[in-house]
């Protein structure tokens, strides 16, 4: 059997394997193989052939082994190193180009460090290198790092950009934001396109696009941009912003720079902390630092005034801070939930404070309609950049049906909706469908015991299961309520006890809270004090909020929760939120 396996392995081994391994054993062979793979990747871009993909996969696997971290050595690069090595440092520096020998000597001199990783098989060739500045405090601009005169005495330095030798010091970076301007221009283009479609069709309610209208600019920012542009030509603020950013000439105008600072800093903070790709930071540099345990400390206006810096990020750079006591916690949190930890310095720019509006008495009045004062409050919040989310236990279809589609969409872009059904948690857009975040059935033993309890104590019980409702006694109006609101159709959805408020408070609630501990949740409905719900774990409204916050990578500090009574207050405290119970319009 062993011989068969060995023979099969040998037969499946590609013919070029021996050639590549022999080449790696020769002086300079490893570097040549790296060059070959670079050429191979370029060729694959033109001709994506199976044979080339197989060769690329094999070569990549071998290079990963041959270039493993264990085989690398760390070297402190100084002015005394060979000229050939220093030439490579100058040639390979892609982030902040080295202008001349004086610039190079400064980066290797007092208050500066440069470290590189080398491989024994590629002598004199840095595989990666990092430049470090020793400063008194975190730098706000690259000019400060490259041209501080005189340099900070090393004995006084307490901050090392990228590196430090003492746990009492600060680890920080001053990093580029290479994808910000590309993201922003694409966002502006899509919003302009949607605005044009809306003006032509009159409504986007029936659209199927995955992009929805949002307020990119605040009214004050839009006014400042119009004032700074000499000939607006009837264009909107986002159209003017798009025109301005297509060229880097705007930085030469103090008036334009002043008008753009507020929106660009705010949108850059949003891009770094909120924009995601597969649950992680959209910006590649941000993703690298966040997964290593950094927090986004500060963004700096006009920190990189080079042509490349203006084109990539509008001149903005970012400080990532590594605090030793938080590195592991932040890294695990980011890898698990995608939450980007930010300082208070950054939070001042982030506009998407999340405001939860609870339909029972908060958005709706006693007749089930949205008062104009509440609608206006939502419009004002949206105009200020507040992301407004309505949390409700009703399904998407039911909300649209009950409120009326046209009326609901007059809430000026209130297009996000959190649905907390018992058994399911969804985060949806009224126009775009939704995403299921969590689902759970009731424990079968809990259901069995509830039925026996109902029969023994003669307490009315209604159970919800898929398309059906079951009751131990006479038909109950809750059955009709269930059908009207299209509640979710899981197999063991929830059950409800119907009894007097006194009996629920003194007997049922204490009994079932103890009995289902760790298996289900007991919820007292404040608006209906004669109803006690038992639902699956983590499907209460409070836990639903917590699940949705995790999916949005938002922390409780960014949330203003608006409720209308003790029920909302109790539930939202499960999500670590502070709840305001004053009239909605006043808030």
Q: Which residues are catalytic?
A: 175, 289
Grouping H, G, I as helix, E, B as strand and the rest as coil, residue 281 is: strand
Grouping H, G, I as helix, E, B as strand and the rest as coil, residue 495 is: strand
What is the dihedral sign for C-alpha 179, 434, 357, 217? positive
- Residue 165: is it exposed, middle or buried by C-beta count within 10 angstroms (0-12/13-18/19+)? exposed
**How far is the C-alpha of 493 from the C-alpha of 479, rounded, in Å?**
13
Return the bridge partners of 331, or none.
none
**How far is the C-alpha of 317 from the C-alpha of 174, rounded, in Å?**
7
Q: State the first-to-last Cα distance of the chain, in angstroms, to the nearest integer.
A: 76
**How far is the C-alpha of 34 from the C-alpha of 44, rounded, in Å?**
15
Closest CA to 130 of 73, 71, 77, 68: 77
In this structure, the number of other CB atoms found within 10 A of the CB of residue 368 comes to 10
Residues in the chain: 587
**How far is the C-alpha of 570 from the C-alpha of 513, rounded, in Å?**
15
**How far is the C-alpha of 263 from the C-alpha of 270, rounded, in Å?**
11
Which is it for strands 280-281 and 387-392: parallel, antiparallel or unpaired? unpaired
**How far is the C-alpha of 325 from the C-alpha of 271, rounded, in Å?**
26
Contact predicate 114/65, CB 8 Å? no
Q: What SS3 string covers 138-183?
A: CCCCHHHHHHCCCCCCHHHCCEEECCCCCCCCEEEEEECCCCHHHH
């Amino acid at each position: 059997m062993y011989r068969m396996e060995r023979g099969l392995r040998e037969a499946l081994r590609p013919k070029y394997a021996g050639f590549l391994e022999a080449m790696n054993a020769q002086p300079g062979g490893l570097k040549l193989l790296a060059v070959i793979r670079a050429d191979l990747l370029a060729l694959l871009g033109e001709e994506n052939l199976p044979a080339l993909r197989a060769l690329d996969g094999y070569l990549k696997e071998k290079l990963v082994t041959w270039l493993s971290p264990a085989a690398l050595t760390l070297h402190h690069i100084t002015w005394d190193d060979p000229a050939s090595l220093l030439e490579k440092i100058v040639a390979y520096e892609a982030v902040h180009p080295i202008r001349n020998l004086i610039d190079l000597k400064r980066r290797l001199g007092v208050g500066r460090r440069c470290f590189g990783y080398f491989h024994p098989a590629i002598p004199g060739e840095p595989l990666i290198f990092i430049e470090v500045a020793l400063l008194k405090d975190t730098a706000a601009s690259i000019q400060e790092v490259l041209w501080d005169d005189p340099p900070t005495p090393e004995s006084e330095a307490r901050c090392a950009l990228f590196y430090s030798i003492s746990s009492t010091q600060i680890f920080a970076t001053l990093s580029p934001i290479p994808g910000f301007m590309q993201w922003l221009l694409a966002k502006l283009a899509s919003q302009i396109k949607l605005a044009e479609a809306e003006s032509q069709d009159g409504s986007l309610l029936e659209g199927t696009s995955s992009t929805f209208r949002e307020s990119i600019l605040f009214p004050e920012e839009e006014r400042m941009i119009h004032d700074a542009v000499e000939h607006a030509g009837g264009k909107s603020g986002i159209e003017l912003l798009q025109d301005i950013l297509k060229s880097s000439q705007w930085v030469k105008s103090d008036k334009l720079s002043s008008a753009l600072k507020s929106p660009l800093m705010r949108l850059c903070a949003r891009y770094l902390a909120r924009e995601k790709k597969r649950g992680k930071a959209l910006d590649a540099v941000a993703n690298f630092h966040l997964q290593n345990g950094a927090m986004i400390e500060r963004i700096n206006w006009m920190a990189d005034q080079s042509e490349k810096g203006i084109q990539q990020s509008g001149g903005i750079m970012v400080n990532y801070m590594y605090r030793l006591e938080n590195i592991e916690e932040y890294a695990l949190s980011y890898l698990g939930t995608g939450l980007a930890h930010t300082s208070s310095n950054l939070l001042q720019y982030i506009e998407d404070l999340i405001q939860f509006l609870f339909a029972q008495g908060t958005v709706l009045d006693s007749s089930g309609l949205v008062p104009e004062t509440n609608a206006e409050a939502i419009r004002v919040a949206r105009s200020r950049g507040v992301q407004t989310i309505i949390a409700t236990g009703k399904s998407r279809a039911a909300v649209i049906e009950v409120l009326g589609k046209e009326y609901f969409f007059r809430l000026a872009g209130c297009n996000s909706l959190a649905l907390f059904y018992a058994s399911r948690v969804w985060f949806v857009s009224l126009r775009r469908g939704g995403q299921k975040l969590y689902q759970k059935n009731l424990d079968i033993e809990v259901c069995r015991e509830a039925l026996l309890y109902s029969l023994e104590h003669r307490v009315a019980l209604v159970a919800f299961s898929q398309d059906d409702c079951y009751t131990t006694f006479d038909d109950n109006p809750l059955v009709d309520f269930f059908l009207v609101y299209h509640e979710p159709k899981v197999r063991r959805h929830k059950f409800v006890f119907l009894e007097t408020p006194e009996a629920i408070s003194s007997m049922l609630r204490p009994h079932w809270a103890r009995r289902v501990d760790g298996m289900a949740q007991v919820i007292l409905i404040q608006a209906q004090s004669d109803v006690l719900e038992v639902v699956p774990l983590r499907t209460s409204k409070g836990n639903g909020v917590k699940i949705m916050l995790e999916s949005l990578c938002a922390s409780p500090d960014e949330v203003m929760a608006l409720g209308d009574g003790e029920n909302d207050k109790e539930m939202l405290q499960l999500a670590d939120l502070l709840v305001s119970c004053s009239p909605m319009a006043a808030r």
